[in-house]
Each structure stands twice: as structure tokens, then as C-alpha cells.
């Protein structure tokens, strides 16, 4: 949440356009307000505006600060309403110290009170504003800028990433404790950002900042030290992403682009991980890697939680004890772990605050930890004992699409490896399952090409509510589909296990309730009974099932076909169809699809 960007360029260059472009590339992290601060000729000029980045760009048409060093910020509000005053960057009393911040300063009230007593005046309601005032105070006391920055950071409690410029120096100062930061290494300049897409069009060479690091960055070099000033090595590596991965490429929305990128994302996810004779080949986890595992805990939030539920179902089918926990709940009510507990943290960004806190709790209790994530170098990948990457590429749309599919595909392979190691048995169904996973990219392409979702969408724009139901792996798909629908249409939607309808939710079903039913080819006869239950109460039913499922098609009012495949893969294909339904309905309703209200992509605060 919140996006930080910064750039230090040669003396004769202007970084303003680079900062604004970087903010546009990070707008998925927050879009309540935005701003930039640029240093030139010994002064810092700040321009910031409430609203999306277009509002900032319009303001910069009138006042365009020029300079070779600058910082920028796009905000998701935590402390203070989204207003011009509360937008970042923030300055001290003299306006020569400018700061952007991602996270929460938990002790800001005490710090603010102390600073007010010392004569400092504040102009915003944010927790961030205490930081430039602290730096200003320490500089006035005779400390160097770097010393003042370190002392100020040392006073903060909570999770944060901070970047700062001052009027009389050409460097960017930064620190991290819990919120992501990454350095970009260009040919003649350096970048700093919350996420790689901010500067990907300029460089793919990066160094990941870790918790406790302090950074000093100029155009031609960067230095990373620990809290005591000792140098630390943060190796420069190349990310396997392309600049066009962070662009819309002619699609109306990033979400639609990313839905259509799923065949390629799935191909990357499974490439080299299924052998010619249909065995699982995970380079990170050869056979026997999980022989000492007795139980599996899966931790996740949001869409990743639904992917974890999918994996739990696969493990349970193979006789492996597995439980799924909401990471936000695990932090306060952690489950007991044993010496043989494997904790799998599922997190797209690898920076989700609740998930990282849960990982620490599990590790402290002696559990082995494994991160399933999209981002090499992310905190989750670094702090866990092991990591498995989903290789989905950048996902810009706030509503997750291709990362869910890639997570499930990779988790299916991981579940198969764990099950074989734990049980010592090869599933008789393994070849059929792995063959279906291999065909997923082509099957998703086929589903996308032939989807009737656009034609059906108009009838779902004025319904009272939408229910999504499913069994087995169809249940997490129902939950995920309901989440997508409510995220981007702002209409009421709920997902249920199909058998649970008659235990309460059926009371809400009327003729104005659309029921989307997911059929995977397993236990379809039971789900058909649930379809009849809602149809008898006047609710129209949209069934998602294999093309050959004639009985299902006849029982439904509308039919979204998917290619015939294994039940495990059928859930993912059904999910693709329902992603398209949500997208098309949201588009007809004129919603802000890529930037849904009140939401942000990477939740880095608890």
C-alpha cells in the first residue's frame, strides 16, 4: 500500500517526468492522492494533489519543478483523509527536508506532541509528517543529514519505508523496516521504489533493500548500511520482467490484459516442472524433500487465501493433513505447530504484512516455512526457509487474475510432491492430473476465445445480489469469483460451499438473485440438486461446466462452457470464465476496474 519512487540523475538532467511515470506505474498501490518533491539549486519544491495522478499531472502543467534529484508518492490513506494537505511528500517547518513514507508510524502521537512542545507546527493529519520534523530538529542540533536521518528513523515504531531529499545535498536517503523498497541501477542514474514496475522501463538491474537497511543513493552509486552504519551487501541482480509487462498494450484495462495473459503465465508456471513421463520436477524440492512433514498449514490473505484453499483440498484428497488459516487471524490466534509442521505462506507480492507476521510467528514456534510467491527477492522469499516462485510476471490490476491461476497451478505441483513424500505412494491419477495441467495454457486460451461472458453480462448489471457456489475445488473458485465480482463491480456477491445453501443462505435467494454454479466434473450430481433448490425459488442459474456436460447445461438458464479436462484443472478454467463475467459487468457499470475504490494491490500494513 502506497507507492514510493525516487530518482537521482546527472546534474544536467531533470527527473520530474521520470517521477511521474514511476508513480503511474505504481498507482495500483494507492490512488487517493499523489505528489512529488524535486531538489534544484539548494531548494526543494513540492507539488501534491488529492485524487488520481492525472490531478497531479494537471497541477504540474502550471508549476513544474526542475531538478536532478526527486522523490514521489502515491497514497492509500491510513492516517488522515485524502486531501491536498495530507498528500505526500511532507516537509518540516523550513521546507528544506522532504519525506515520502509507506506504512504506519505507531508512536506518531507521542512524537508529534514532543515536536509541538519544541515549537514545530504541523499542516496535516498524517503520521508521516513527524519524520521530516524529526530530521529537521536533528540537523539543527548539528548532526549531518545522514546522522539526522538515522536518528529520526531510530525513533519510529511500526512498519515503514521512507525516502527523503534535502535542499542542500544531491542524495536520496531511504530506510526500510517492514515495507518494501528496491533500488534500480541504471547506466548513469539510480532509482528507488516500492516495486520494480516503477522503473522497469529504465533498468532491469535491481538490489532489494531489507529490513533495518539504510540507503544513501546518488546518480552514480548507492550505499546500503545497517542501523549502526556498517556496510551490508545487497547484490545487484537482473529481474526476468520486460517493460511491456507493466503496460496495457492496447487493452482497455490492465485487468483485461492480465486475464488474457493467463495462458502465457501458466506456461511459465509449469515449464520444466512436469517431466515427459508425467512426474513432478521441482528443482527446489527433489523427491524426499518433505518426507519428515506430518501436517501442513497454509497461510494467506484475499485471493491467495482462495488459492491456499484449493491446495488444501488437493492435499486432503491425497491423505495429507492440511489446514488453511487467514494470515490476519493467525497473527492473533496462531494454531499449534509441531516439529513436523510445514507452514506454506501464499503471497503474490511476498510483502503482505499479515502474512509476514504469521511467518515469523510460525518460525519462532519451530515450524519449517515455505513461501509460494511471485516476486524473487521479496521479504517472504528471504525470510522463509524455502521459496517456490509462480513466475506470473508483474500484475498491475488491483484485482488479482493471472496470479491466482499461477498460484493454483504451482500449488498443485507442490501438493503432489508433498503427498508423495508424506504418504510414500504415487497417486494412480497423477498422469491424468499432470497432463491436464500441461494442457491448461491451451485450454485457457480456448476458454478466452470462445467465452460468451460479454454477451451475458448485461443481464447481471441490475441484480440484487450474486451468489457463487461450488464443491471441492469449485468452492474456492466460488469464493474467488465472488470476491472479484464485489471488488470491481461494487455489487453484493457472496461465495458458498454448494451444500451450505440450505443451512441459511437460501433465505436470501429470490428471483433477483443470480446464482453462478461451478461444476468441475466431480460430485456434479450433488451440485445439480442445489441448482434445482435455487431455481425452484425463482433464481436464475448460470452454470460453468465442461462442454460435454449436457445435463448441467439443460438445468441452467445460462451456460458458460469450458474445455473437458481433469476436475482439478476444471476449477481454474471455470475461474477464467467468471473473471470475464466480473470484468464485463464492471465495464458496463462504468467502474474503475484497475483501481477499485478503497483498495490497493499490496497490503503492507496490518
Q: Which three cell numbers stand for residue 80?
A: 488522515
> Which cell numbers hold the place of 96?
528544506
> What is the Cα gyration radius of the chain?
25
Active site (annotated) includes residue 601: yes
- DSSP line for 61-118: HH-----SEEEEEEE--SSS-SSTTTSSPEE-TTS-EEEEEEEEETTHHHHHHHHHHT
Q: How far apart, in whole angstroms, are the C-alpha atoms of residue 456 and residue 589? A: 14
Pairing of strands 513-518, 541-546: parallel
2 is catalytic: yes
CB within 8 Å of 101: residues ≥ 6 apart: 2, 4, 73, 88, 90, 127, 128, 131, 160, 161, 162, 163
Q: Identify which of 516, 535, 507, 447 has the alpha carbon closest to the alpha carbon of residue 477.
A: 516
* H/E stretch holding 418: helix 402-423
Neighbours of 245 (CB within 10 A): 20
SS3 444: helix
CB 543 within 8 A of CB 567: no
> Nine-digit cell at 115?
515536536
Q: What is the 3-state secondary structure (H, E, C) of 494-542?
A: EEEEHHHHHHCHHHHCCCCEEEEEECCCCCHHHHHHHHHHHHCCCCCEE
CA distance 97 to 362: 40
Q: How many CB atoms lie within 10 A of CB 222?
A: 23
Residues 543, 551 contacting (CB under 8 angstroms): no
CB count within 10 Å of CB 229 equals 10
Hey, what's the cell of 224? 546500503
N residues, the chain:
606
Report the distance separating Cα 146 and Cα 221, nearest Å: 16
Helices (H), 26-67: 53-62
Q: Which of 2, 7, 301, 384 is catalytic?
A: 2
Contacts 24+ apart (CB under 8 A), 313-318: 313/472, 313/473, 313/475, 313/476, 314/411, 314/412, 314/415, 314/416, 314/419, 314/473, 314/568, 315/415, 315/418, 315/419, 318/415, 318/416, 318/419, 318/423, 318/427
Task: State whether residue 48 is helix, strand or coil.
Answer: strand
Write out the three cell numbers for 335: 494454531
Question: Which residues are registered as beta bridge partners of 217?
Answer: 172, 222
Residue in 257, 484, 595, 601 annotated catalytic: 601
Dist. CA 377–CA 372, nearest whole Å? 12
Active site residues: 2, 601
Amino acid at each position: 500500500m502506497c507507492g514510493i519512487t525516487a530518482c537521482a540523475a546527472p546534474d544536467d538532467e531533470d527527473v520530474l517526468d521520470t517521477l511521474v511515470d514511476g508513480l503511474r506505474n505504481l498507482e495500483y498501490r494507492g490512488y487517493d492522492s499523489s505528489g512529488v518533491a524535486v531538489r534544484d539549486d539548494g531548494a526543494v519544491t513540492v507539488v501534491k494533489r488529492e485524487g488520481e495522478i492525472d490531478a497531479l499531472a494537471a497541477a504540474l502543467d502550471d508549476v513544474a519543478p526542475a531538478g536532478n534529484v526527486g522523490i514521489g508518492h502515491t497514497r492509500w490513506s491510513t492516517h488522515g483523509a485524502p486531501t491536498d494537505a495530507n498528500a505526500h511528500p511532507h516537509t518540516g517547518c523550513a521546507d528544506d527536508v522532504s519525506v515520502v513514507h509507506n506504512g504506519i508510524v505507531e508512536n506518531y502521537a507521542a512524537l508529534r506532541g514532543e515536536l509541538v512542545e519544541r515549537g514545530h507546527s504541523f499542516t496535516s493529519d498524517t503520521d508521516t509528517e513527524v519524520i521530516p520534523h524529526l530530521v529537521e530538529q536533528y540537523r539543527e542540533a548539528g548532526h549531518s543529514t545522514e546522522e539526522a536521518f538515522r536518528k529520526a528513523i531510530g525513533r519510529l515504531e511500526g512498519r515503514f519505508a521512507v525516502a527523503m531529499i534535502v535542499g542542500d545535498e544531491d542524495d536520496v536517503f531511504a530506510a526500510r523496516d517492514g515495507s518494501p523498497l528496491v533500488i534500480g541501477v541504471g547506466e548513469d542514474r539510480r532509482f528507488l521504489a516500492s516495486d520494480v514496475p516503477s522503473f522497469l522501463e529504465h533498468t532491469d538491474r535491481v538490489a532489494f533493500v531489507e529490513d533495518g537497511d539504510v540507503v544513501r543513493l546518488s546518480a552514480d552509486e548507492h550505499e546500503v548500511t545497517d542501523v549502526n552504519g556498517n556496510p551490508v551487501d545487497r547484490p545487484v541482480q537482473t529481474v526476468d520482467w520486460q517493460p511491456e509487462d507493466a503496460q496495457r498494450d492496447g487493452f482497455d484495462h490492465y485487468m483485461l490484459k492480465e486475464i488474457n495473459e493467463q495462458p502465457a503465465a501458466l506456461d511459465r508456471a509449469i515449464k520444466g516442472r512436469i517431466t515427459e513421463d508425467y512426474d513432478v520436477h521441482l528443482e527446489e524440492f527433489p523427491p524426499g524433500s518433505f518426507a519428515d512433514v506430518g501436517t501442513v498449514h497454509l497461510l494467506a490473505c484475499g485471493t491467495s487465501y482462495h488459492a491456499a484453499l484449493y491446495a488444501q483440498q488437493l492435499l486432503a484428497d491425497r491423505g495429507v493433513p492440511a489446514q488453511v488459516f487467514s494470515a490476519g487471524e493467525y497473527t492473533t490466534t496462531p494454531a499449534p505447530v509441531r516439529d513436523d509442521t510445514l507452514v506454506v505462506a501464499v503471497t503474490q507480492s511476498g510483502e503482505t504484512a499479515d502474512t509476514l507476521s504469521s511467518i515469523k510467528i510460525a518460525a519462532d514456534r519451530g515450524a519449517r516455512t515455505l513461501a509460494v510467491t511471485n516476486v524473487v527477492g521479496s521479504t517472504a522469499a528471504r525470510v522463509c526457509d524455502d521459496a517456490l516462485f509462480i513466475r506470473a510476471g508483474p500484475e498491475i490490476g488491483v484485482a488479482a487474475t493471472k496470479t491466482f491461476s499461477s498460484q493454483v497451478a504451482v500449488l498443485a505441483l507442490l501438493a503432489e510432491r508433498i503427498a508423495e513424500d508424506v504418504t510414500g505412494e504415487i497417486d494412480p491419477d497423477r498422469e491424468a492430473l499432470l497432463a491436464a495441467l500441461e494442457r491448461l495454457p491451451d485450454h485457457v486460451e480456448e476458454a478466452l476465445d470462445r467465452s460468451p461472458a460479454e454477451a451475458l453480462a448485461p443481464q447481471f448489471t441490475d441484480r440484487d445480489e450474486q451468489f457463487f457456489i461450488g464443491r471441492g475445488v469449485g468452492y474456492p473458485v466460488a469464493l474467488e469469483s465472488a470476491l472479484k465480482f464485489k471488488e470491481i463491480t461494487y455489487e453484493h456477491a457472496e461465495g458458498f460451499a454448494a451444500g451450505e445453501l440450505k443451512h441459511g443462505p437460501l433465505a436470501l435467494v429470490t428471483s433477483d438473485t443470480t446464482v453462478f454454479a461451478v461444476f468441475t466434473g466431480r460430485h456434479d450430481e450433488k451440485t445439480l440438486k442445489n441448482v434445482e433448490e435455487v431455481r425452484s425459488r425463482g433464481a436464475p442459474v448460470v452454470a460453468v461446466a465442461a462442454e460435454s456436460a449436457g445435463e448441467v447445461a439443460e438445468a441452467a438458464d445460462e451456460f458458460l462452457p469450458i474445455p473437458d479436462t481433469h476436475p482439478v484443472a476444471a476449477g481454474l478454467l471455470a475461474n477464467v470464465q467468471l473473471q470475464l463475467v466480473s470484468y464485463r459487468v464492471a465495464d458496463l457499470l462504468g467502474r474503475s476496474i484497475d483501481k477499485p475504490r478503497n483498495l490497493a494491490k499490496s497490503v503492507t500494513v496490518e
